[in-house]
Structure 1
Amino acid sequence: MRALTIRQPWAGAIVHQTKRVENRTWKLPAAHHGARILIHAGAQPDKTAEVNGPNLDVYSAIIGVATITGCHWSSEWQCCGYWAFENTYHWTLSDVIALPEPFRAKGALGFWTPSEDIVNAALRQDTAVTW
Structure 2
Amino acid sequence: MGSKGRSDVVNYRNPCLTMHQPWASLLVHGIKRVEGRSWPAPIRGRLWIHAASKIPEPATIKAMEDFYREIYAVNGITDIKFPEHYPVSRLIGCVEVVGCITREELGCWEEVPEAVRLEGQTDFCWLCEQPQKLIIPFEMRGFQGVYNLERKIYESATRGLSPVRAPCPVKFPLPDPQDPLSLKPGSLVSSLNASGTSKLERSESVNAAIAGARAAATQFSKGQSFQPPPTGGVDKPISSRTRNRSTEG
Q: TM-score range by the shorter chain?
A: 0.7 to 0.9
Give the Å deviation of 1:61: 0.7
- Larger-gyration structure (1/2): 2
From 84, 93, 111, the counterpart of 1:64: 93
From 16, 20, 29, the counterpart of 1:7: 20
TM-score (norm 2): 0.45
> Quick one: distance in 2 between partners of 1:13 and 1:83?
15
Instruction: For residue 159 of structure 2, give the secondary structure of its aligned residue in structure 1.
Output: helix
Unaligned runs of 5+ in 2: 1-13, 66-81, 164-249
TM-score (norm 1): 0.80
Instruction: For residue 87 of structure 2, give the secondary structure of its aligned residue in structure 1.
Output: coil
The answer to which structure, 1 or 2, has the higher relative contact order (CA under 8 A, 6+ apart) is: 1
From 39, 49, 64, the counterpart of 2:49: 39
Unaligned runs of 5+ in 1: none
Cα root mean square deviation, aligned:
2.6
> Quick one: distance in 2 between partners of 1:46 and 1:88?
24
Structure whose residues are more often strand by fraction: 1
Instruction: For residue 119 of structure 1, give the secondary structure of its aligned residue in structure 2.
Output: helix
From 23, 31, 39, the counterpart of 1:18: 31
From 66, 73, 87, the counterpart of 2:102: 73
**Residue type of the partner of 2:52?**
G
Contact 2:133/2:161 (8 A) holds in 1: no
**Residue type of the partner of 1:97?**
Q
Give the Å deviation of 1:87: 4.1
Contact 1:12/1:54 (8 A) holds in 2: yes
State the partner residue of 1:51.
64
Deviations 1:74-123 (A, max 9, x none): 14886661662334210000111011111101010110111111101211
Contact 1:9/1:56 (8 A) holds in 2: no
State the partner residue of 2:4.
none
- After superposition, residues 97-112 of structure 1 pair within 5 angstroms as 97-112=132-147
Give the count of matched residue pairs: 125
Residues 19 and 90 of structure 1: CA distance in aligned 2, closer, same or farther (over 3 Å): same
- Of 56-65 and 75-84, deviating more is 75-84
State the partner residue of 1:92.
127
Contact 1:78/1:86 (8 A) holds in 2: no
Structure whose residues are more often helix by fraction: 2
Instruction: For residue 39 of structure 2, give the secondary structure of its aligned residue in structure 1.
Output: coil
**Residue type of the partner of 1:42?**
A
State the partner residue of 2:157.
122
Give the Å deviation of 1:126: 3.2
Identity over aligned pairs, percent: 29
